[in-house]
A and B are shown apart, each in its own frame.
Chain A
Amino acid sequence: MTATATPPAHRERKPRPPRPEPTAGNIVASTSLTVLSVLCLWLLVHLLLLGTVSHDREQALLHRELRTQLAGATAPVGPVVPAGDPLALLRIPAIGLEEVVVEGTAAGDLFAGPGHRRNTVLPGQAGISLVYGRSVTYGAPFRRLASLTPGDLVQLTTAQGRISLRVLGVRRDGDPLPQPAAAGATRLTLVTAAGAGRFARLTPGSALYVDAEAAEGFPAPGGVPAVVPPSEEAMASGTEALPLLTLWLTLLIGVVAAALLALRRWSAGLVWVVAIAPVLALAWLATDTAMRLLPNLI
């Protein structure tokens, strides 16, 4: 869709009619475009602003929960942890990152913060652990990952203790993998999405990896699952959220229709006051659910 050429403005300044009536076709076109525009901009606002709000709130809650669990020695040590539970506190002073890592790398899990891929050992344990994080949306915890340099400190606080890892390097698609870690070492691979070129911040189309390693990791329990669903792999998206999205959209349309009906009977002010909250809440829910259909690392 392109912008139509606007006719040149007429010079004569007649007294305007008080309420010019546009044509029916115009009304339809204009309203459709408005709705489309509102929808696009709402999505942007949600991804970039409201998502950050929800991410920050989730982090605050998770941080509190993890603190309690660490103090009570009930924080998980694996191998299987319920998705969404806090696992570890990840600090990277070089880029000012401090985030609670949650279990699971599905798009929905990463709303709350960086997620640990479930078929790897927990962060800090001997072996290789993968942590995925978003680079643009929902607080964008990993947005500055690309600026890490070898030797930067990565600190982890987990149920098994504190451990400091050193960054080995940043790699993108096609770069050589670092050599396998020695027995007993722990390696943490942070994964996010990154773009290239001028609009790199807006076009995070491919994955970016940061490897960090410490010579001695915590003991890892056996029994880590062998595979994860495809929707939890890097840059993957799933369709599991579709039924829920349908439900939320139906409810949203229902509430809007009810508000329109109510406008015939009651005053606009009253209807606005009553309807705005449920409409916004349903819109938020529907948008969050829709975002689960998008790739998980952006």
Chain B
Amino acid sequence: MKRGRAVVGGAVGALLGLAVLTPVPAPDAAAVAPARAAVAGGAYRETRSLDRTMVETTGERTVGSYEMTVSADHTTNLRGRERIRISWQGAPPSGGRASNPFGEQGLAQEYPVVILQCRGTDDPDLPVDEQLSPRTCWTSSYYQRSQVLASPSAALWTVDRYAAEPDVERISGLEGVADEECATVRDSASFYSHLTPFVAASGEVFPACDRDTMPPEAAVGAAFPAAEVAAYSDTDGAGSVDFEVRSAVENESLGCSHEVACSIVVVPIAGLSCAAPGDPVTTLDRNCRQYGEFAWGSSNFAGLGIDQAVGPALWWSESNWRHRFSIPITFGLPTDACDVLDPRPPVGFAGSELMAQAALQWAPAYCLNKKRFKFQLNQMPDQAGWNLMEKGDAPAAFVSGRKDRVGEDPVGYAPTAVTGFAIGYVADKPDNAGEVSRLRLNPRLLAKLLTQSYPGSALGKGHPGLGDNPLSMLTDPEFIKLNPGLSTRDTEAAATLLSLSNSSDQIEQLTAYIAADADATAFVAGEADPWGMTVNPAYEGLTLPLAEWPLLDTYTPETQDPCRQANPSVYLTQLAAPVTTLRKISDALIDSWPNVQTRCDGDPTTVSGWKIGRIDRQAYGARFMLGLVSLGDAERYGLRSASLATAKGTYVAPTSRSLADAVSISTQDEDDEYGPFQLDQGDVARARSAYPGTQVVYTAARTHGMDADEAATVASFIRIAVSEGQHVGRDNGDLPEGYLPILRTGSTAKLWAAAQRVADAIEAQELPAVPEEEDDAPDDARPPADTGPTPPSAPAVPEEDEPAGADEPRADKPGKRAKPEVTVVATEAASSPTAFAMLPTLLVLGLVAASASLVTRLVGMRRGGRR
């Protein structure tokens, strides 16, 4: 970046010279007085003063002065889409609040706090390409960064008193832009333009003068919604936002990764500081000296025009940019780091998705250490992972509950992580009053959602038995009683809980939680709730708990809608639309994009001309959706979790405390020291403070029958996982948030002891002492099925009734456990009388017939001769 910066004041010339020499000059010492407090754990906190000072003919006039403090809760080892809570005090109060502050939708606000993700850090000692500048800050549309063809009276940036000299020109910001690009900007004779080109990580410069000259990730309807936000400060000047960071995986042009440093830049908009007015005072000068159309705290849902001098579009202008807070952030290793950095074959542990966030941080601690093995989590339904482990296709499985054994080998359950599931939600208070910070749910409400007992909309009203039910949870009196003050506008998304379609231990425990509640069980059995709501007849009498939630409804509404007539489908199933992984549910919640499949679009490529798809993302301010998420995902992505009822009037949110309480009431069977710990939902209700969604993830592996090396690998994993793997943090090998560490002392001590016990048993690979008869019975059962064993001394008598060629090899390879001695099997007989006799018979017959023929002929001739 070559743009110098002039500082108006006594030392303009000297500072300008400095600015030309040093690409990014040190910020003006008078305006910027950072007071950074060292905060542990990667958190950030900084205070600085902001001011808006006009240059008038009479001298300088300060029209606004603020002392602003910005803090961020964590900034290190971030992963793509992780959300950081950024909060502040002392900012100018905002006005004209937009319904959606993200991206271009947030432009029509006054005095917002613009938060952007930029490549580079704010350190003048660094090389130029590692420093941040407005050109490395991401926006998802060009008019968030460039002012194109503005009328002369709207070109406010040209009268910014801090603006560098090139920027006051009629057309500016074209440095580095190829001459043939942005012809409309260059050719205009009277309009003013300022471009803030985007410099991609590759070095490519996107001029950002129209939508075609923006990076590809900024396309309309891009895969990810806009993350940059023009956030709103309340009348006290405080505010907060969950800012979603993007790694190079999500946004390659921005290109933030563990190797490329980035920053979150918070630019509070205090208004432009205007230069001395002309003589006479122009419209432009008057426009610059504006203080806002909207009252503090007011809303601008209609998107009416604002005073641009206090709007977010000029965030790059030096008056605003010099007030920036740059929060340096670092990214963790990408998810594929181990595959790239470690060529060894991975050891795949199969199973529970609850481990996903832990495995993300754990894996580099294994693969980057050559003394260890290459750990890999292969996510799959718990039962599938278990089956692989039992068959020997996976060394170990991650499960969170007891599974039925199908093989003959004993299996040990080593507690590895304490986590669980949550009912994640995203919900806004009515009238843009912010997000709902506490949502309370009870088992009956969950049962209503899962049994599809809310009709969702008028389409579902015709469903037999649902006509009198509230359309969605938002109008259910039971829900309103628990969560007063929410919007009561029904939506289809509020009629369902986005859940898993396949079998999982989470669904099993969730349904067990419902089944343990008398009211919920009675509701499922067909009894109406106190407000008269009844269960969907398709689910009436369903027996809980279940590991896989069935979709039983069959009602297809009859409407005049041509799209629905062309695509008849079960309406309530379209609302539920369960997915296969918890991560998909997390993504839906991050985007507040329900997976409700009821949107109808014209589609000329199909025969019917209509297609059905997913509804739109919910509008900011009117969001409400629920989903089943893992606690690890909820913490990573900053999702909110509902509090679940345990006893009457007691609602427990997932916290370390409530997880620990649940661990302390879980019990292991007395006669099974390698078994899992059971969390009885009845005990949860009695204990009151335990979180019902607590789940212990176990590393399940066979304690007999495994390969010795593999067994040692699994045992070492368990020991590492319950020692250094339980250190809570954000570095490689640490336990992320959302997990309760298993420690040697405290409520998790029994889990720690069990893990050590099972690790020893897995490493020893000894048969348990109890079933000791027939020690090698499994081996004897393995000789070829089609030939019986015979003693080595006597050759076996071939069994005649066996088919020929019965010595054919067994199709299955010899098991790893087969001992290569003792089996003596006789070769099976394969004989054929035809083969034995054919050649001699042919030979003898041929010769005899030939001689007989000769004799016969001779005899006949002789007789004929005598006659």
Binding site for B on A (CB under 8 A): 1-4, 6-7, 16-17, 20-23, 26-27, 29-34, 36-37, 39-41, 43-44, 47, 117, 119-120, 126-128, 130, 136, 171-177, 179-183, 187, 189, 191, 193, 195, 199, 202-207, 209, 224, 226, 230, 233-237, 294-295, 297-298
Contacts and interface: CB of A to CB of B under 8 A. Distances in A.
Contacts, number: 211
Given A176-B825, A193-B835, 20 more contacts: A6-B858, A20-B862, A26-B857, A29-B853, A29-B856, A33-B849, A34-B850, A37-B850, A40-B842, A44-B842, A130-B809, A171-B827, A173-B798, A183-B813, A189-B807, A203-B839, A204-B836, A205-B835, A206-B836, A207-B831
B787 A36 contact: no
B781 to A, nearest CB: 14
Contacts of B792: 176
Interface residues on B, range: 35 or more
A30 B843 contact: no
B830 A203 contact: no
B809 A127 contact: yes
B837 interface: yes
Nearest to B818: A180
A176 B805 CA distance: 15
Contact of A34 (B796, B797, B853, B863): B853
B851 interface: yes
A176 B826 contact: yes
Nearest to A136: B839
B834 interface: yes
A186 B314 CA distance: 74
A274 to B, nearest CB: 27
Nearest to B797: A174
Interface of B: 787, 790, 792, 795-798, 803-805, 807-811, 813-814, 816, 818, 820-821, 823-840, 842-843, 845-853, 855-865
A126 B846 CA distance: 48
B861 A119 contact: no
A151 B188 CA distance: 92
A22 B833 CA distance: 40
Given A41-B846, A204-B835, A209-B827, A1 B852 contact: yes
Given A4-B852, A237-B834, A294-B838, A174 B809 contact: no
A22 B866 CA distance: 10
A143 to B, nearest CB: 13
A47 B853 CA distance: 23
A22 B805 contact: no
A193 B864 CA distance: 50
A171 B796 CA distance: 13
B804 A44 contact: no
Contacts of B805: 191, 207, 233-236
Contacts of B864: 20-23
Contacts of A206: 829-832, 836
A280 B283 CA distance: 114
B820 A173 contact: no
Contact of B795 (A21, A39, A175, A298): A175
B865 A17 contact: yes
A49 B832 CA distance: 23
B798 A174 contact: yes
B780 to A, nearest CB: 14
Contacts of A295: 832, 834-835
A226 B857 contact: no
A237 B832 contact: yes
With a 10 A CB-CB cut-off, give which of B797, B804, B805 has the most chain A CB atoms: B805
Contacts of B842: 40-41, 43-44
Contact of A37 (B820, B839, B849, B860): B849
